[in-house]
């Protein structure tokens, strides 16, 4: 342990000269402690504030540079010898494009850079749900925008494409119990030639009167001309 009674060695001093040589006929000596001289980062010393103000700022030792980020083009003075970008924003953007993967949202088209483990087709859950509501349909049927107040419209205002095509062919909405069948089994093939109308409802019971009423209802709905001709033939002469 150091001896408490021992006196501290006095700090040595050095002689420097005023940097404002134009204000003095001969160099003006200045005495400073050695520790102060070591802490001075500019390497310049002045004998007074007048000399310091007259000398002004120290000339820059580096040349102006242009930001290396593509599309920036800002000219700046580098604070360090290795500075390549004009701001932290430009540096972060370049870093993200190098270490992350570009992602474009299918719903809004926003371009973002994410880590490879999080890359996807949407920028958020809300846009994913909105995209599915617009483009997807129950049972993977293609959909179209439904007319206003359509009885078969879904919550997103759309309707199955094959239903819309059949209603255009019939000139009316589908009735309860009616459905559309794809002849070739391809749900995405909504050509009129590939669609046919099916009736899925059945009468209650199997009595002859019920079946006759059911058949008459079918003829009245789908072949009214045949029903009229049949009734005309049954009239007594």
pLDDT digits (tens, 9 = 90+) for 138-177: 556 788 888 888 888 888 888 888 999 999 999 999 888 8
pLDDT number for residue 185: 72
- Strands 29-33 and 13-17 turn out to be antiparallel
Domain boundaries, the chain: 13-55, 65-99, 101-135, 137-201, 205-237
pLDDT number for residue 211: 64
If you search the block for the tokens 């925008």, which residue do you land on?
Answer: 145
- Range 169-177, long-range pairs (CB < 8 A, 24+ positions): 169/195, 170/197, 175/221, 176/201, 177/201
Mark the ranges of the chain whose per-residue pLDDT is less than 50: 137
pLDDT number for residue 167: 92
Residue 143 parent element (H or E): strand 143-145
pLDDT number for residue 164: 92
This prediction has a pTM of 0.34
């Amino acid at each position: 342990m150091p001896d408490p009674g021992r006196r501290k060695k006095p700090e040595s001093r050095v002689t420097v000269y005023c940097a404002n040589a134009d204000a003095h006929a001969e160099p003006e000596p200045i005495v400073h402690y050695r520790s102060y001289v070591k802490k001075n980062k500019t390497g310049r010393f002045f004998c007074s504030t007048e000399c310091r103000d007259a000398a002004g700022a120290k000339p820059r030792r580096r040349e102006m540079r242009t930001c290396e980020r593509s599309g920036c083009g800002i000219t700046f003075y580098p604070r360090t010898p290795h500075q390549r970008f004009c701001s932290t924003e430009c540096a972060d953007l370049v870093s993200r494009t190098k270490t992350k993967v570009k992602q474009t949202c299918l719903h809004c088209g926003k371009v973002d850079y994410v880590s490879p483990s999080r890359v996807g087709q949407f920028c958020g859950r809300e846009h994913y749900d909105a995209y599915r509501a617009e483009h997807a349909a129950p049972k993977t049927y293609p959909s179209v925008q439904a007319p206003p107040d359509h009885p078969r419209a879904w919550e997103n205002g759309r309707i199955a494409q094959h239903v819309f095509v059949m209603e255009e062919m019939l000139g009316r909405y589908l009735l309860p119990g009616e459905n559309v069948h794809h002849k070739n089994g391809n749900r995405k093939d909504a050509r009129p030639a590939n669609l046919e109308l099916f009736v899925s409802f059945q009468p209650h019971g199997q009595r002859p009167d019920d079946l006759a009423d059911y058949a008459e209802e079918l003829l009245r709905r789908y072949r009214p001309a045949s029903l009229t001709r049949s009734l005309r033939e049954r009239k007594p002469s």
